Amino acid sequence: MADQRIVDGVLSGDRRMMARAISMIENEDKDKHRILSALFPHTGKAYVIGITGAPGAGKSSLVDRLLSILRSRGLTVGVIAVDPTSPFTGGAILGDRIRMQEHALDKDVFIRSMGTRGSLGGLSRATKDAIQVLDASGKDVVVVETVGVGQSEVDIIKYADTTLVVLTPAGGDSVQTIKAGIMEIADVFVVNKADLPGADRTVAEINIMLDLGGATRPWRPPIVRTVTIDGSGTDEMYAAILRHSEYLKESGNLERLRKERTRRDVVDLIEYRIKSTVWEQVHGSPEFDDVVARIVSRETDPYSAALQILRQVNLDRCKE
Amino acid sequence: MGERKIRVLVAKPGLDGHDRGAKVVARALRDAGMEVVYTGLHQTPEQVVEAAIQEDVDIIGLSILSGAHMTIFPRICELLKENSAGDIMVIGGGIIPEEDIRELISNGNASAIFTPGTATSEIVDWIREAMREKVSHKEGVS
């Protein structure tokens, strides 16, 4: 069976089959769940590092540097780099690989670019499952690079064990503007382009923000300065990631994090099944159009109509 | 169920640094709703093929202005076959003489070559048509 060939291929690290599996996930292939379920027993080993930050902050270049460090320690790495999909045409330019050329021929590095395809949280819907594929293929570390984010695209924390937030010294204003969502999710702050003027001020701003948060947090995110052109500070960045991963393990938080994640995944899957079952039966049916018309003309209200429709849906189908 | 998106790798192998054409084409394909993996300048054939495999693209588009096309196209097709990825189509653009185009296509080292002056819509249409044929062929087999 074609599924089995892909599963076996992924488990043995066959790059073509890994790529194929990720495409099937992205395209919502009907065999997607069967493949993921066969891969699942082989997952849970990879450590997931997330990198997020504004467009042009240097995320891809930092991933490139991180790849060199991880490889020099003998670790195998999978990378998922997400770039935005056009809301108008559905097309995308995926350009994160440009910065990672040095690792293009390393057989122990697998880089996959993805378009967001309508997701608004900084990742694509398929990212989570693509991480599973790379994990099952035996990669020690999976690095996930988000799209360039603004304030509230924080989906990365749902999947990353350690999240890096990359900032640049563009003055205190940039810190101010992204304060609300992004500033809360960092396990490690990276001030990149630290050779530019204003880096000290950016570091100070982050420290002030952290101090305001009170001393009750068991993990205070360290702040590292990096310059990707010459690689300075990137070893410190890696050391900070390691410290965080040790903290997670020792405090028992890694266990807790993964349990929460699993719980959410299962709920998501149940929701997805129910949603698609209902949608298949309701969408496009003449009765549904009729109900919509009656709601618009105020003959009935949407709340009663929803209940009425739901009573007619056969939910047994989502249990198959 | 889901929508099958066309994925194209746009690469610029070899030593010349003129990437305007590659960027114009990449942009046009994006506007046609395709996912374009753009790998930038100075790619070796090995890098192009490895990226095409990892990204699971349907088509590789090469921009070559340096005159090295008679070496690069065959090398990339050879590497694709070695990696059992011969189903990935290779197309190209650039300053390539008529007789070389004929030879590349008749030897199976390129599926299409678009020379300067080609409208981007022509490239988009060609890719869509080629993909339709590929998909219907696949369905016919299985």
| CATH (domain of B11) | 3.40.50.280
Q: Do B5 and A26 touch (CB under 8 A)?
A: yes
CB of B30 less than 8 A from some CB of A: yes
CB of A23 less than 8 A from some CB of B: yes
- The mean pLDDT value for A248-276 works out to 90
Question: B5 is written with which tokens?
Answer: 């998106």
CB of B2 less than 8 A from some CB of A: yes
Please give the share of chain A, as a percent, with pLDDT higher than 90.
Answer: 62
Instruction: Indicate if the pLDDT at residue A207 is higher than 70.
Output: yes
Residue B134: pLDDT band (50, 70, 90) is: confident
Q: What share of chain B is helix, strand, coil (3-state, %, to 5)?
A: 45, 20, 35
Q: How many CA atoms does the CB half-sphere of B132 hold within 13 Å?
A: 6
Q: Do B54 and A19 touch (CB under 8 A)?
A: yes
Residue A179: pLDDT band (50, 70, 90) is: low
State residue A176's pLDDT score: 59
Domain that holds residue B114: 7-141
Specify if B98 maps to a domain: yes
Q: Do B33 and A26 touch (CB under 8 A)?
A: no
- The mean pLDDT value for B51-63 works out to 96
- Determine contact, residues B126/B90, Cβ cutoff 8 Å: no
Q: Which residue has the higher pLDDT, A171 or A315?
A: A315
User: How distant is the alpha carbon of residue B134 from its chain centre?
Assistant: 15
Q: Do A91 and B51 touch (CB under 8 A)?
A: no
State residue B138's pLDDT score: 64
- Determine contact, residues A22/B37, Cβ cutoff 8 Å: no
- Determine contact, residues A66/A49, Cβ cutoff 8 Å: yes
3-state secondary structure of B87: coil
* Lowest mean pLDDT segment, chosen from A19-23, A179-183, A265-269, B74-78: A179-183
* Lowest mean pLDDT segment, chosen from A118-122, A183-187, B115-119: A118-122
- Determine contact, residues A118/A85, Cβ cutoff 8 Å: yes
A240-247 long-range Cβ contacts below 8 angstroms, 24+ apart: A240/A188, A241/A49, A241/A162, A241/A164, A241/A188, A244/A162, A244/A187, A244/A188, A244/A219, A245/A47, A245/A161, A245/A162, A247/A218, A247/A219
CB of B11 less than 8 A from some CB of A: no
Instruction: Indicate if the pLDDT at residue B109 is higher than 50.
Output: yes
State residue B141's pLDDT score: 45
CB of B34 less than 8 A from some CB of A: yes
- Determine contact, residues B90/B111, Cβ cutoff 8 Å: yes
- The mean pLDDT value for A196-200 works out to 91
> How close does chain A come to B101, measured CA to CA in Å?
28
- The mean pLDDT value for A213-234 works out to 89
State residue B142's pLDDT score: 38
Specify if B132 maps to a domain: yes
Instruction: Indicate if the pLDDT at residue A1 is higher than 90.
Output: no
* Lowest mean pLDDT segment, chosen from A41-45, A165-169, A269-273, A301-305: A269-273
Phi/psi for B122 (5° steps) reads: -65, -40
How far is residue B8 from each of residues A246, B1, B39, B53, B126, measured CA to CA in Å? 41, 22, 11, 11, 13
Distance CA A43, CA B26 (A): 36
How far is residue A145 from each of residues A122, A165, B20, B38, measured CA to CA in Å? 9, 10, 27, 16
Instruction: Indicate if the pLDDT at residue B103 is higher than 50.
Output: yes
**ipTM value of the model?**
0.89
**Which chain B residues are within 8 Å of A18, Cβ to Cβ?**
54
Name the β-bridge partners of A92: A85, B35
Specify if B2 maps to a domain: no
Question: B116 is written with which tokens?
Answer: 């300067």
Q: What is the pLDDT of chain A when averaged over all its residues?
A: 90
Q: Boundaries of CATH 3.40.50.300 in chain A?
A: 45-251
Instruction: Indicate if the pLDDT at residue B1 is higher than 60.
Output: no
- The mean pLDDT value for A15-33 works out to 94
- The class that CATH gives domain A45-251 is alpha beta
Residue B126 is inside which H or E element, if any? helix B120-141
Q: Do B85 and A94 touch (CB under 8 A)?
A: no
Instruction: Indicate if the pLDDT at residue A150 is higher than 80.
Output: no
Q: Which residue has the higher pLDDT, A70 or A123?
A: A70
Name the nearest CA neighbour of A18 among A41, A40, A35. A35
Question: A319 is written with which tokens?
Answer: 């249990």
Q: What is the pLDDT of chain B when averaged over all its residues?
A: 91
Question: A105 is written with which tokens?
Answer: 């021929």
* Lowest mean pLDDT segment, chosen from A112-116, A175-179, A217-221, A290-294: A175-179
Residue B139: pLDDT band (50, 70, 90) is: low
Q: Do A91 and B31 touch (CB under 8 A)?
A: yes
Q: Which residue of A has its CA nearest to B39?
A: A98
Residue A180: pLDDT band (50, 70, 90) is: low
DSSP annotation of B58: S
Domain count, chain B: 1
